[in-house]
Amino acid sequence: MALAWQAVNSYEDILYHKANGIAKITINRPHKRNAFRPQTVSELIAAFTDAREDTAIGVVLLTGAGPHTDGKYAFCAGGDQSIRGLAGYVDGAGIPRLNVLDLQRLIRTMPKVVIALVAGYAIGGGHVLHLVCDLTIAADNAIFGQTGPQVGSFDGGFGASYLARVVGQKKAREIWFLCRQYHAQEALEMGLVNVVVPVEQLEAEGVRWAEEILTKSPLAIRCLKSAFNADCDGQAGLQELAGNATLLYYLTEEAQEGKNAFLEKRPPNFQDYPWLP
Ligand SMILES: CC(C)(COP(=O)(O)OP(=O)(O)OC[C@H]1O[C@@H](n2cnc3c(N)ncnc32)[C@H](O)[C@@H]1OP(=O)(O)O)[C@@H](O)C(=O)NCCC(=O)NCCSC(=O)CCC(=O)c1ccccc1C(=O)O
């Protein structure tokens, strides 16, 4: 049965819906193959931040609106080249921005599962967006690729190093150095996506995966996501993982004793808590 999506807020460049513990964020610029401008990214950050803060939400689906009137689908074609200035993508106030990097970090560090639903093109910065999601479900018409060295750009952050972690060094260098496009099946074979489904089943499959995840333990999923990140993200990754250890410790009676003793102006008594092997 289809979910009864409820619209959340009103945006210009994105659509934002929620239903049954799932948030769905849709880039809505199909006339540009869902390429993002600074406003698109700001709106995406606002929606992802809302989903992060909402304790009822456990999984976020990120997708692109489509098909366009020409029948073509796109997840996202990267930065909008028509408003690219000297120092980034120029916003309505004339300020150049590279704010998609903030969005990448938000998706990567939010303690909920983010699933990219890719129909059509995931190209350039749009390809990196699906890459930083925890899981990717591809439609059978999905096309993946980087174009940076062709259009005078590159993503040397997650777009390079995390891509190499996912598909291996040789393949990642091929993807960036040759700027080829890869079909869904090839993406599956290189471990870039989790599954390929017929395009008309894309959202339903995403909802099925989300519903399955939502039956699992939120704290376990949270700790696992930060553990996977810690392996790649250096001190920032360790901070995220250690933050979860602190959260779990705060939940114990032992930690409460420390706080209570301070508030009651007495020495703490940790004698009841064992030094576990
Ligand atoms: C995606 C295509 C392969 C699709 O091809 P096709 O189906 O033939 O459609 P088109 O006719 O080309 O496109 C239809 C329509 O959409 C417009 N459009 C498509 N993509 C863009 C875009 N990226 N920017 C602006 N407009 C776009 C296109 O012009 C057409 O409009 P008309 O009015 O009808 O002419 C193909 O479209 C394609 O190759 N697109 C470009 C892909 C690309 O090169 N993207 C940019 C890569 S660089 C990037 O994304 C920056 C990454 C980034 O943001 C970043 C990374 C690291 C650090 C910082 C940053 C940062 O913030 O910049």
d(CA 135, CA 216): 16
Reduced to 3 states (helix: H, G, I; strand: E, B; else coil), residue 136 is: strand
Q: For 44-58, what is the mean pLDDT?
A: 98
Residue whose CA lies nearest to ligand 1 atom number 9: 33
Phi, psi of 139, rounded to the nearest 5 degrees: -80, 160
Q: Please tell me the distance between residue 232's alpha carbon and the centre of ligand 1 in angstroms.
A: 29
- In this predicted structure, what is the pLDDT of residue 252? 97
Specify the pTM.
0.97
ipTM reported for the complex, 2 dp: 0.96
Options 1.25.40.10, 1.10.12.10, 3.20.20.70, 1.25.10.10; CATH for 218-263 is 1.10.12.10
How far is CA 274 from each of CA 254, 257, 258, 262, 271, rounded to the nearest angstrom?
10, 14, 15, 21, 8
Q: Please tell me the distance between residue 215's alpha carbon and the centre of ligand 1 in angstroms.
A: 38
Query: Which of 29, 31, 32, 33 has the most ligand 1 atoms within 8 A of CB, as the residue to mutate?
Result: 33
**265 among annotated binding-site residues:** yes
Closest CA to 158 of 212, 96, 216, 232: 232
Q: For residue 139, what are the β-bridge partners? A: 197
Domain boundaries, the chain: 6-214, 218-263
Shortest-distance atom of ligand 1 to CA 126: 50
Q: Please tell me the distance between residue 189's alpha carbon and the centre of ligand 1 in angstroms.
A: 25
Q: For 63-89, what is the mean pLDDT?
A: 96
- In this predicted structure, what is the pLDDT of residue 57? 98
Q: For 161-177, what is the mean pLDDT?
A: 98
**237 among annotated binding-site residues:** no
**148 among annotated binding-site residues:** yes
Shortest-distance atom of ligand 1 to CA 97: 62
Sign of CA dihedral 47, 24, 82, 146: positive
Reduced to 3 states (helix: H, G, I; strand: E, B; else coil), residue 175 is: helix
On average, the pLDDT of the chain sits at 97
Shortest-distance atom of ligand 1 to CA 98: 62
The rounded percent of the chain whose pLDDT value lies above 70 is: 100
Q: Please tell me the distance between residue 210's alpha carbon and the centre of ligand 1 in angstroms.
A: 29
> Domain 6-214 falls in which CATH fold?
2-enoyl-CoA Hydratase; Chain A, domain 1 (3.90.226)
Strands (E), 66-215: 74-76, 89-90, 96-97, 113-118, 121-123, 135-139, 143-145, 182-183, 195-197
Contact 79, 44 (CB under 8 A): no
Take residue 37 and report the two structure tokens written for it: 């401008």
Sequence-distant (6+) residues with CB within 8 A of 266 are none
- Please give the helix or strand (H or E) that residue 7 lies within, else none: strand 6-7
Contact 122, 68 (CB under 8 A): no
The rounded percent of the chain whose pLDDT value lies above 90 is: 98
- In this predicted structure, what is the pLDDT of residue 2? 83
